[in-house]
Structure 1
């Protein structure tokens, strides 16, 4: 599906207005870079990132490895962040996740996107050139203005955490 088939929608959330599509500039930073990421379906939340490798590598059980994508992006402003997540198929079939849980691509980062993969499974995984290794989504962000106070408003939950509302 081409990017032209997506509709832009403005969403009003009180004082916040969100547009459902943005323009992200993308640059191939490697001669091995294959395709520009695209949405697989009209309802896909993320785009797949592919391994920009010259040859197959093996991710052994318990190993962490940084895999290049061959791509760099420019987000359209400080109000947007790109988040890199594990692909659910790799996680469920092979125990593959991201070492850092979620990769955060800040709006002012211009370097190559790299994926920190971790093999939590029991079998080695061959990662081939062009394999889909992660997915990236784009989200609006809110910049917090911190107000130091002496007390916080009481809630029914209070200070309960880590299982306090059920397992």
Structure 2
């Protein structure tokens, strides 16, 4: 039984990329790399493809955090502070659960990101439910990126 982890989306399966890994025994985050060369335009948001999707238990999510060295050296941040990948994003009908990293470039220069550059870290988290949450009516995810806000 698989509990949590990463897989390639179908269009990147034959890619020469590696699935995210932790670099040390006590690392919390799994390093996530860019799947393609991307140019981060100044003062704008770029969605960087990773070629991966994440599976997890129903009471978990994957938190996406920008790598601190990349962020500090290049004046970059995640546009939403922390990305949240819900368990039902995996294999959704729109984009198969493809994780994109939404990076904002605060500098006045374009910044190249090369394929294979570790740009973010993914940390699996458990979450708690509020009392009486079972009384809520829930929709089934039918889309990909940003689909629960529609």
Relative to the length of structure 1, the TM-score reads 0.68
Kept after mapping to 1: 8 A contact 2:32/2:120? yes
What is the CA-CA distance between 1:109 and the residue it aligns to?
A: 1.0
Secondary structure of the corresponding residue to residue 17 of structure 2: coil
Larger relative helix fraction: 2
CA distance in 2, matches of 1:122, 1:115: 20
* Distance in structure 1 (CA, Å) of the matches to 2:34 and 2:114: 7
Deviation at 1:26, TM superposition (A): 2.5
1:97 paired to 2:77: yes
Q: How far apart in 2 are the matches of 1:124 and 1:146?
A: 49
Q: Distance in 1 between matches of 2:70 and 2:20?
A: 18
For residues 20-62 of structure 1, the C-alpha deviation after alignment (integer angstroms, 9 at most, x for no partner) is: xx83142211133600111100111101111011xx3221220
Give the number of the structure whose alpha-carbon radius of gyration is greater: 1
Q: How does 1:12-161 map to 2 (within 5 A)?
A: 23-29=3-9, 30=12, 31-32=14-15, 34-53=17-36, 56-75=37-56, 77-110=57-90, 111-145=97-131
CA–CA distance in 2 between the matches of 1:33 and 1:78?
30
Residue 100 of structure 1 aligns to a residue whose secondary structure is: coil
- Inter-partner Cα distance in structure 2 for 1:69 and 1:146: 37
RMSD of equivalent CA atoms: 1.8
Higher relative contact order (CA 8 A, sep 6+): 2
Q: How many residues align?
A: 123
Contact kept? 1:33, 1:69, Cα under 8 Å:
no
Structure 1 residue 119, shift from structure 2 partner = 0.4
Partner residue in 1 for 2:138: none
Identify unmatched segments of 5+ residues in structure 2.
Answer: 91-96, 134-150
Q: Distance in 1 between matches of 2:23 and 2:5?
A: 19
